[in-house]
Structure 1
């Protein structure tokens, strides 16, 4: 069965999951434990669309596009090595489905600038990435492009970490605003207009202001104030219902509001205890060779109190202990706790089970990756098929978008 048939036969578009990664460097075990393991699980439960976010990578790497292009092929091999299956998920490249850019453009026409400026990661990254000039329209519009990526596939779920939930909420607001602008139900609008005419002038102005703040400024709490105002009015029940329907939607759903699917936080830190990152030099690549893995783990810092082999230590103060929490069973952890606190084992002895566990985890990844390393054309074939399928789904959404916007 092809991936297209699986989408419709097993799950259908109602259960679509959408996620992507920026191709800015080699994937490491932090990516595996933080995202890819979850992707592998989700592909058996939903119709999954996983994409190479190369346009997103250009928002911060626009001066070195050759790096983005070079990393795409290797990143997809890492996905396949981790167990992502092209027969159960759709893998594609963002820039090869041009409808993403079209929806991004059309959404930009009606998205308030203030929505983009208030995204938490916008100011954070400008502050933290001082070595890059990020005062660009592309970087400011990053969350809107992300919304277009999601909305164009009518995805129900987007797996994200807790720090990315505001981006999903913004995508919901963008979809809600688009539906409010272009999906009006003429019958409900007429009923609401007639009901509003029976309000006092002050009430009408208040209700209009609350709707504007909710729909244009993204202040969703204003909808509750609008409902309270409607409830306190002297209108008949049917008239109140018409106004509530207008506030709550009362319109055709063109773009689906996605739901955040919280991804369990990765329990695997970097080799120095910080977040695993290639830029920190504390990462182990998904397809790192055996000798390098052994060397890196053996050089990991340990509890500073263990200056000599005979000094007792505290596992809670040792970065290696975090790897035992991710990889070791209860018996091994108990051995580490006792051996470290009594100086019964040395740090190199403590590290060996971690080395063995990482190598065991990597072995099937290396085996899955090898056919694609031997035959690079296989990756191109997978992406070609995925781009065709993703393009078909995107075009279906854009036909409706163009129609409601009068762009036939």
Structure 2
């Protein structure tokens, strides 16, 4: 491949939202012109904590693919593929588990925090604990050298590179390139409630397919500053969800800074900044929603896109698996 290889993707646990758009999808639109980009519909990763809800995971394969296509991902430039139909990834995951210890998996900061936040205790699904090895398989199967991740996901890339170094050391040759994490300039978008990150399951997100009324209701309910009771009261910008969204989506950042200053000294009501944000989000999501509805009425096309991309990815990942097995000196038939 003449271009740098980039791997990214999403767990198929629900339709995507504005947090995904600003944190990853917007960048993917640019990457597809500069990189050989593989976009993974990560249904196996979705099962690591949703094994009792396979119907939901299966249903959302199409939903996530619709979001990809609706925002402008071009299947002629970006390979959209289904994780569970790439057997080489599963085989590499099993192989890599021999190159990492349970103690190291448990020490991974990302995994530790997820175990804590989900309240697993010692009842950790084995697939969830082994997620770093599985992600290493995803990345290396495509020989990706670039992986966009959130800041909290960077330890997973570090562990991927540890596994890569062990594989290369065992093979006594550079079988696999190390991967570089790219952390987007814009951090995680807060939920509209101001209490946590925007998430599919948290009830605090705005989906890419949100209707005009849903957008309006979400913006009106956004957390601002509880102490800003009257228009003349000085208001806090930090922690104000509306300003966080304006930072992410408003193209006139000089005007946003003026609004922040005005809000801080008093004399600017919440309704003014919410009206501005709503107009921006309505304009952003209207064409995405329209395109998504058109694609949803042609399900066969979406399935064909996934099939074609998966077929290409299957060939790429299969070759990588064979190269690794050969390089490690494993028995060959």
Q: Is the TM value for this pair above 0.5?
A: yes
Contact 2:69-2:292 within 8 A present in 1 as well: yes
Equivalent residue for 2:77?
88
Q: 1:109 aligns with which of 84, 98, 123?
A: 98
Equivalent residue for 2:135?
146
1:112-138 per-position Cα deviation (integer Å, ceiling 9, x unaligned): 333222211222222211269752321
Distance 1:22 1:364 in 2: 24
Equivalent residue for 2:124?
135
Equivalent residue for 2:313?
390
Larger radius of gyration: 1
Q: 1:297 aligns with which of 198, 215, 219?
A: 219
Equivalent residue for 2:296?
373
Equivalent residue for 1:23?
12
Q: For structure 1, which segment, 331-340 or 281-290, has the greater mean C-alpha deviation from structure 2 after superposition?
A: 331-340
Matches for 1:119-130 after TM superposition, within 5 Å: 119-130=108-119
Secondary structure at 1:52 match in 2: strand
Matches for 1:60-209 after TM superposition, within 5 Å: 60-130=49-119, 134-181=123-170, 183-184=171-172
1:20-73 per-position Cα deviation (integer Å, ceiling 9, x unaligned): 211112211011101111111111110000101111111111111111111111
Q: 1:254 aligns with which of 175, 183, 186?
A: 175
TM-score under structure 2 length normalisation: 0.91
5+ long unaligned stretches in structure 1: 1-7, 185-251
Equivalent residue for 1:407?
332
| Cα shift at 1:77 | 0.7
Equivalent residue for 2:36?
47
Distance 2:212 2:315 in 1: 42
Distance 1:301 1:168 in 2: 34
TM-score under structure 1 length normalisation: 0.75
Aligned length: 327
Secondary structure at 1:351 match in 2: helix
Secondary structure at 1:278 match in 2: coil
Secondary structure at 2:79 match in 1: strand
Distance 1:79 1:149 in 2: 19
Closer, same or farther in 2 for the Cα pair 1:271/1:335, shift >3 Å? same
Distance 1:254 1:109 in 2: 17
Equivalent residue for 1:223?
none
Contact 2:17-2:207 within 8 A present in 1 as well: yes
1:126-173 per-position Cα deviation (integer Å, ceiling 9, x unaligned): 221126975232122111011011111111111112222221111111
1:176-210 per-position Cα deviation (integer Å, ceiling 9, x unaligned): 111222x23xxxxxxxxxxxxxxxxxxxxxxxxxx
Closer, same or farther in 2 for the Cα pair 1:294/1:256, shift >3 Å? same
Contact 1:267-1:322 within 8 A present in 2 as well: no
Closer, same or farther in 2 for the Cα pair 1:56/1:134, shift >3 Å? farther
| Cα shift at 1:374 | 1.4
Matches for 1:272-287 after TM superposition, within 5 Å: 272-273=193-194, 274-287=196-209
5+ long unaligned stretches in structure 2: none
Distance 1:338 1:108 in 2: 55
Which segments of structure 1 move beyond 6 Å, counting only runs of 4 or more? none
> Are positions 1:352 and 2:275 aligned together?
yes
Distance 2:90 2:256 in 1: 51
| Cα shift at 1:372 | 1.1
Contact 2:191-2:199 within 8 A present in 1 as well: yes
> Are positions 1:338 and 2:327 aligned together?
no
Distance 1:65 1:123 in 2: 25
> Are positions 1:265 and 2:189 aligned together?
no
Distance 1:179 1:371 in 2: 47
Contact 1:152-1:255 within 8 A present in 2 as well: no
Equivalent residue for 1:36?
25
| Structure showing the higher helix proportion among its residues | 1
Distance 1:132 1:288 in 2: 36
